[in-house]
Structure 1
Amino acid sequence: MGKDKLRKFAEVATFLNVVQLDEGKPYKGKWASEFFKNEKPLILELACGKGEYTVNLAKLFPEKNFIGIDYKGNRIWRGAKTALEDGITNVGFLRIQIETILEYFEKGEISEIWITFPDPQPQDSREKKRLTNPVFLERYKHILIPQGIMHLKTDNDGFYAYTLEQIELQNLPKNKETTDLYQSDLVDEVLSIKTYYEKKYLAVDKNINYVQWRFNKEGE
């Protein structure tokens, strides 16, 4: 590991807006009341990388709480540092493997989940790692409020098609969808937030896919 990564790992351990691994488990069911010290709705960004979406959503919606989740501490460092420097108090970061998410959030604790430019895991042998496979979707459904909203932004057409297939197989209602976000009428101040990776894709004229869906209520 390079010196810069080591420095960031050491520094992120001192940030009050970052919780790492088992440190987050006592907050299960109590993130709003004990971590943020309020009762505002809680929104997650999964595979948040440098945290651009998490931080910018928090700026746009001070009436909500936001947590960016990723396993790479040197990436979380950037978003967490920006939030601290800018005095953004409704944002935090959690360094965990997303596979363990049920250990950190209680049933119905989350209002919305964003998945922004995740690793598409294109090999068939790695389907279980895709963040929209049926196992992950079941975990999200558990921690979301009834009819909680899911968002996906991705440049990867194959992963987008796979996600739509999973949504359709489960007969889940889609609210919005497009295979070319910036040529659609869906783009607004929220969807126009751009991550580090999205900027790279747009620079080479890559289309951006977006879909918003929700889980059915019990009995639907």
Structure 2
Amino acid sequence: MGSKNKLKRFQENETFKNVIQPTREEAINSFSYKGKWHSFFGNNNPIIVELGCGKGEYTIALARKNPNKNYIGIDIKGARFWRGAKTALEENLENVAFVRTQIELVDFIFAKQEVSEIWITFPDPQIKYQRTKHRMTNAAFLKKYDAVLKEDGIINLKTDSEFMHGYTLGLLQGAGHEILYANHNVYNNEGAPKEVTETQTFYENQYLEKGKWITYIQFRLKY
């Protein structure tokens, strides 16, 4: 994507009513919607968050299927989720929002027990050991998710990385968290949740065409 195209998308994002772009300082010290997301949407419906939402494909797809739930995509790359934000506006999806911020600030964006469900879709597995702190399912990140999730809140991890799948599964089992579902080839399992198999991103389709397996874990945190 050229720099001019990126700049145009950044400028358009500023005009979109469903896009919020706080500075890091604002996110940490004075994020206006923390604990008040229901006022943004104008209802008390459950809040579902997609972390590292990319183009917003999963956020949009789930929002279409579940109009009685509110969906928020979070990513630091606004030029990517521009597509999802624009699609939501074009389709008059009032249950969609996007926040441009770092994922590690999730506990500053949401209040305690404000989120019903989290989706993590195709994150960078950060395979090198020195990158462990950046893995989105490491112990530190799980603590942040626990801080914003309701007591019965659910986390979904969908990835093409066997490493990420195995790492997360081992971590969850070792810490005594509740694993609701786990499969390393979700499209070859008749019991897989429909939201997992009926919703696919652009890159996921590419992975499937190459014969790669898609893994999925659904779990609850138990601290």
- Superposition TM-score tier, normalisation by shorter sequence: over 0.9
Which shifted more, 178-187 or 85-94? 178-187
Residue 115 (structure 2) pairs with residue 84 (structure 1):
no
Alignment length, in residue pairs? Answer: 216
Alignment gaps of 5+ in structure 1: none
Alignment gaps of 5+ in structure 2: none
Which residue matches 2:165?
160
Which residue matches 1:6?
7
**Shift of residue 173, structure 1, vs aligned partner:** 1.0
Q: Structure 1: how far apart are the matches of 2:202 and 2:73? A: 15
Counterpart code for 1:76: F
Within a 5 Å distance, the mapping from 1:164-183 to structure 2 comes to: 164-183=169-188
Which residue matches 2:22?
21
**Shift of residue 189, structure 1, vs aligned partner:** 3.5
Secondary structure at 2:64's aligned position in 1? Answer: helix
Q: Structure 1: how far apart are the matches of 2:92 and 2:143? A: 35
Q: Structure 2: how far apart are the matches of 1:186 and 1:194? A: 17
**Shift of residue 187, structure 1, vs aligned partner:** 3.5
Q: Structure 1: how far apart are the matches of 2:114 and 2:216? A: 24
**Shift of residue 186, structure 1, vs aligned partner:** 3.0
Confirm or deny: 8 A CA contact 1:46 1:116 kept in the other structure.
yes
Deviation per residue, 1:35-92 (Å, 9 max, x gap): 1011111010000000011011111111110100100001110100000001110011
Within a 5 Å distance, the mapping from 1:1-220 to structure 2 comes to: 2-22=3-23, 25-32=31-38, 34-191=39-196, 192-216=198-222
Confirm or deny: 8 A CA contact 1:50 1:196 kept in the other structure.
no
Counterpart code for 1:7: K
Counterpart code for 1:73: G
- Fraction of identical pairs, as percent: 47
**Shift of residue 194, structure 1, vs aligned partner:** 0.4
TM-score by length of 1: 0.95
Q: Structure 2: how far apart are the matches of 1:107 and 1:188? A: 27
**Shift of residue 188, structure 1, vs aligned partner:** 4.6
**Shift of residue 185, structure 1, vs aligned partner:** 1.2
Counterpart code for 2:139: P
Q: Structure 1: how far apart are the matches of 2:179 and 2:94? A: 32
Q: Structure 2: how far apart are the matches of 1:190 and 1:200? A: 19
Counterpart code for 2:55: K
Counterpart code for 1:212: Q
TM-score by length of 2: 0.93
